[in-house]
Amino acid sequence: MASENRGEKSQKLISLSRRLSLYEPPPHLNNPARRQHGIPKSANPKRAAVLICIFEGNDGELRVILTQRSSQLSSHSGEVALPGGKREEGDADDIATALREAKEEIVSCDCYSCDWYTV
């Protein structure tokens, strides 16, 4: 079923939403238990967030929005990436960071009509 009616979710999206709601993220990178997940003790993580915007295309297949980073950037230039970036002082949480960054990177982002999960 093609999802042309905004606000109506297909069975694929409903099923995916249910599965995502059951996801248990691994411990935060600053947690000592992170070594069990293969994260080196020397890692110096920077707080960032990305938006994984999953939607149903006109053909009924699930799609994800990706961006191409500017070729002018000093790191990861020209790479394909999820929209997102570094947390700024005014961001209330990871969702606020992901939304702000997505709105900066994707002009037609209707980010508020989604289910939200932090992973």
Rounded Cα–Cα distance for residues 16 and 57 (Å): 15
Q: Where are the domains of the chain?
A: 11-105
Per-residue confidence band for 4, with pLDDT thresholds at 50, 70 and 90: very low
Percent of the chain with pLDDT over 90: 11
Which residues neighbour 41 within 8 Å (Cβ) at sequence distance 6 or greater? Answer: 35
Over residues 20-39, the pLDDT tens digits come to: 888 877 666 556 666 666 66
Rounded Cα–Cα distance for residues 35 and 51 (Å): 26
Rounded Cα–Cα distance for residues 62 and 56 (Å): 4
Q: Is this model's pTM higher than 0.85 or not?
A: no
Measured over the CA atoms of residue 36, residue 29, residue 82 and residue 12, the dihedral's sign is: positive
pLDDT at 82: 92
